[in-house]
Amino acid sequence: MLRRVGLLGGTFDPPHLGHLVVAESARIDLELDEVRLLVAGDPWMKPVVTPARHRVEMARLATVEDRFLTVDARETRRAGPTYTVDTLEELHASEPHTEWCFLLGADATARMGEWHRIDDARPLARFVVVTRPGHDLHLAGSAGVERLAVPAVAVSSTELRDRYAAGRATRYLVPDRVDRYVREQRLYGVEW
């Protein structure tokens, strides 16, 4: 019997409650056995602010108490730019009895046509776009992409980095363990 695993890719810089809501909603609504936070190494379409070791640790801290949610750091160990197709090919080779569901936000879907080897990636996973506050959902040009509505949690990693840097409230926007880690490691200009 095939395992059904969701992959929620991102930089997780930092991981926040919106990420966790998406993961849990997808797990339930798509009947997945597990969801993995797939921490991007060097995403070619997005600059990374924080070193991978911190982003992986924050993702691990965010998921530590959820047996259905895990962290996959394989992309952070790969040299050079990170491409979804390479990760999916690697996963198919290492876990051949798994059906993959790649979860992405509406913002990422708008640029799917620019992805490296997108036509090779499409048959390797079920691509599901989740709704995201502040982003219109346009599936034009995104053949084979499904839509999943999830509860709206209007928070972003960019906003959180700005909040930390400015000394503004972050509690209840990120898991407590992640908040403590950010402050202990003095990430994002935190003075605490």
pLDDT score recorded for residue 110: 66
Let me know if residue 190 belongs to a domain.
no
The amino acid present at 112, given as its one-letter code, is: M
Let me know if residue 183 belongs to a domain.
no
pLDDT score recorded for residue 133: 56
Helix, strand counts (H, E) of the chain: 7, 6
Q: Is 135 left (phi over 0), alpha (psi -120 to 50) or beta?
A: beta
CATH code assigned at 96:
3.40.50.620
User: What tens-digit pLDDT sequence spans the chain (192 residues)?
Assistant: 799 999 999 999 999 999 999 999 999 999 999 999 999 987 766 676 799 999 999 999 999 999 999 999 999 998 888 888 999 999 999 999 999 999 987 767 667 777 778 888 888 999 999 876 555 555 544 567 888 988 888 899 999 999 999 999 999 999 999 999 999 999 998 876
Half-sphere exposure of 50 (CA within 13 A, CB side): 24
pTM (2 d.p.): 0.88
Domain count of the chain? Answer: 1
Let me know if residue 15 belongs to a domain.
yes
75 is in which domain, residue-wise? 3-154
Q: Residue 27, Cα to own-chain centre: how many angstroms?
A: 14
Let me know if residue 179 belongs to a domain.
no
Let me know if residue 176 belongs to a domain.
no
Let me know if residue 104 belongs to a domain.
yes
DSSP state of 62: H
pLDDT score recorded for residue 192: 63
